[in-house]
Amino acid sequence: MITGSLVALITPMMSDGSIDKQKLDELVEYHIAQGTHGIVAVGTTGESATLTYDEHANVIRQVVAKVNGRIPVIAGTGANSTHEAIDLTKRAKEAGADACLLVVPYYNRPTQEGLYLHFKAIAEAVDIPQILYNVPGRTACDMSNETVLRLSGIKNIIGIKDATGDLERGKELINSVPADFAVYSGDDATAVGLMLLGGKGNISVTANIAPSQVAKAAEHAIAGNAEAAHEVDAGIKGLHKSLFVEPNPIPVKWAAAQLGLSGASIRLPLTELSEQFHAEVLAALEVAGVKGE
Numbered residues of the known binding site: 45, 203
Quote the DSSP letter at residue 197: T
Catalytic residue chosen out of the listed positions 30, 116, 133, 184: 133
CA–CA separation, 19 and 250 (whole Å):
16
- Our answer to whether residue 161 is catalytic in this structure is yes
Query: Helices (H), strands (E): how many in the chain?
Result: 13, 8
Options 93, 161, 200, 253, the catalytic residue? 161
Burial of 23-51, coded b for 16+ CB within 10 Å and e otherwise, reads bbebbbebbbebbbbbbbbbbbbbbbeeb
Which parts are annotated binding residues for pyruvate? 45, 203
For CA atoms 187, 193, 199, 200, give the dihedral sign.
Answer: positive
Using CA atoms of 194, 204, 227, 175 in order, give the dihedral in degrees to the nearest 10. Answer: 20
Distance (Å, rounded) from C-alpha 196 to C-alpha 229? 9
Phi, psi of 198 (to 5 degrees): 120, 0
For residue 16, what are the contacts with CB-CB under 8 A and spacing of at least 6? Answer: 265
Rounded distance between C-alpha atoms, residue 15 and residue 264, angstroms: 8
Residue 288: strand, helix, or coil: helix
Q: How far apart are CA 197 and CA 171, in angstroms?
A: 6
Catalytic status, residue 133: yes
d(CA 273, CA 264): 9
For residue 156, how far is the Cα from the chain centroid? Answer: 19
User: Annotated catalytic sites, by residue?
Assistant: 133, 161
